[in-house]
Structure 1
Amino acid sequence: MPISEKVIHDAVARYDRERDRYLKLAARVSDICRSSIVEDNAIRAQVTFRTKTVRSFEGKLKRFARRADKNYASVDEVFAGVGDFAGVRIATYRPEDERRVTDEIKKLFEGESSSDVFVDKKDKLAVNSYQFYRATHCQVFLREEDLVGHYENLRGTSCEIQVCSMMAHVWNEIEHDIGYKPEGGGPGDAEKGLLEALGHLTRSGDAAITRLLAANAARMQENVGDFVDVHDFVARLRPFFPDADLSVNAGQAFDAVTEQGLNSVVALKAELGDEALSPAVAAKLIDAFNRYLTTVDGAEYSLNPASADVLTVAVLHKFAGAIFDSHPSDRSKGRPARIFYIARLYDRFAESLKSSERSAA
Structure 2
Amino acid sequence: MDLISQFMENYRRKYTFYENAARLAAKALESALQSAGIRALVTSRAKDPGRLKSKAVHRNAVRETPYKNMREIYDDMYDLSGVRVSLYFPGDRDKVDTLINDLFSLLEKKQFPDESKPPTYNKRFSGYWANHYRTHMKEELMTPAQQKYAAARIEIQVASVLMHAWSEVEHDLIYKPLQGSLSEEELSILDELNGLVLTGEIALERLQSAGNERIKNKNTTFSSQYDLASYLYNYLSNHFRQEDIELRMGNIELLFKLMSRLKIVKVKDIEPVLKSVKFEKDRRNISQQIIDQIITGSEKRYQIYQELKTGGAVIEPELLKVIGCFFDRWVPLEKLLNKAAFGSAPRSYGAFNINTLKRLEILDKDMAGKVGSLRKIRNMLIHDIEKPDAEELLKQTEEIKEVYQELSQKLGNTS
TM bucket (normalised to shorter chain) is 0.7 to 0.9
**Structure 2 residue ranges without an equivalent (≥5):** 119-123, 317-378, 388-392, 411-415
Change (3 A) 1:225 1:67: closer
Aligned to 1:153: 148
Deviations 1:135-175 (A, max 9, x none): 21111111121343321322321110011122221221111
Q: Which residue number corresponds to residue 16 of structure 1?
A: 12
Aligned match of 2:162:
167
Q: 1:266 to 1:9 in 2, by over 3 A?
A: closer
How far the C-alpha of 1:47 sits from its partner, in A, is 0.9
Measure the CA separation in 2 of the matches of 1:214 and 1:355. Answer: 53
> Which residue number in structure 2 is paired with residue 302 of structure 1?
284
1:311 pairs with 2:290 = yes
Q: 1:110 aligns with which of 105, 116, 121?
A: 105
Match of 1:262 in 2: 262
Q: Structure 1 residues 355, 197: closer, same or farther in 2, change over 3 A?
A: farther
C-alpha displacement of 1:310? 4.9
Alignment partner for residue 343 of structure 1, among 360, 378, 383? 383
Is the contact between residue 22 and residue 82 of structure 2 (CA under 8 Å) also seen in structure 1?
yes
Specify the alignment match of 1:295 in structure 2.
none
Shift of 1:81: 1.6
Q: Residues 83-102 of structure 1: matches in 2 within 5 Å? A: 83-102=78-97
Deviations 1:10-52, CA, capped at 9 Å, x for gaps: 111111111111111111110111111x112211211111111
- 1:73-104 deviation line (CA, Å, top 9, x unaligned): 22222112211111001111222211221222
Structure 2 Cα separation of the partners of residues 176 and 118 of structure 1: 22
Separation in structure 2 between the aligned mates of residue 64 and residue 34 of structure 1, nearest angstrom: 32
Does 2:104 match 1:78? no
**Cα distance in 1, alignment partners of residues 268 and 314 from structure 2:** 28
1:60 aligns with 2:55: yes
**Separation in structure 2 between the aligned mates of residue 90 and residue 154 of structure 1, nearest angstrom:** 20
Q: For the Cα contact (< 8 Å) 2:3–2:69, is it kept in 1?
A: yes
CA distance in 2, matches of 1:341, 1:88: 34
Number of aligned residue pairs: give it: 321
Query: How far apart are the structure 1 equivalents of 2:97 and 2:267?
Result: 35
CA distance 1:355–1:29, change in 2 (3 Å):
farther
Larger radius of gyration: 2
CA distance in 2, matches of 1:238, 1:85: 35
Q: What amino acid sits opposite 1:359 in the alignment?
A: E
Which range is displaced more, 47-56 or 235-244?
235-244
Match status 1:323 vs 2:313: no
Q: Which runs of 5+ in 1 are unaligned?
A: 112-116, 291-298, 332-338
1:262-281 equivalence runs, <5 A: 262-265=262-265, 277-281=272-276
Residue 355 (structure 2) aligns with: none
For 2:315 and 2:181, how far apart are their aligned partners in 1?
56
Structure 2 distance, partners of 1:344, 1:312, is: 13
CA distance in 2, matches of 1:7, 1:101: 38
Go from structure 1 to structure 2 and tell me whether the alpha carbon gap of 1:49 and 1:238 turns closer, same or farther (over 3 Å shift): closer
The one-character-per-residue Cα deviations of 1:84-133 (angstroms, maximum 9, x if unpaired) are 1110011112222112212221121114xxxxx42111214797654402
Judging changes above 3 Å, is the alpha-carbon distance between structure 1 residues 238 and 358 closer, same or farther for their aligned structure 2 residues?
Answer: farther
> Which among 19, 25, 29 is matched to residue 29 of structure 1?
25
CA RMSD of aligned residues (A): 3.7
SS at 1:110 equivalent: strand
Aligned to 1:334: none
Q: CA deviation at 1:243?
A: 2.4
* Deviation, structure 1 residue 343: 3.4
Contact 1:324 1:344 in 2 (8 A): no
Deviation of the 1:194 alpha carbon:
0.8
Cα 1:40–1:158 shift into 2, 3 Å: same
* Aligned CA distance change for structure 1 residues 240 and 139 (closer, same or farther; 3 Å): closer
User: Which residue in 2 is equivalent to 1:293?
Assistant: none
Q: Distance in 2 between matches of 1:96 and 1:359?
A: 53
Q: TM-score, normalised by structure 2?
A: 0.66
Is the 1:121–1:136 contact (alpha carbons within 8 Å) kept by the matching residues of 2?
A: yes
TM-score (norm 1): 0.75
Secondary structure of 1:186 counterpart: coil
Contact 1:83–1:139 (CA under 8 A) maintained in structure 2: yes
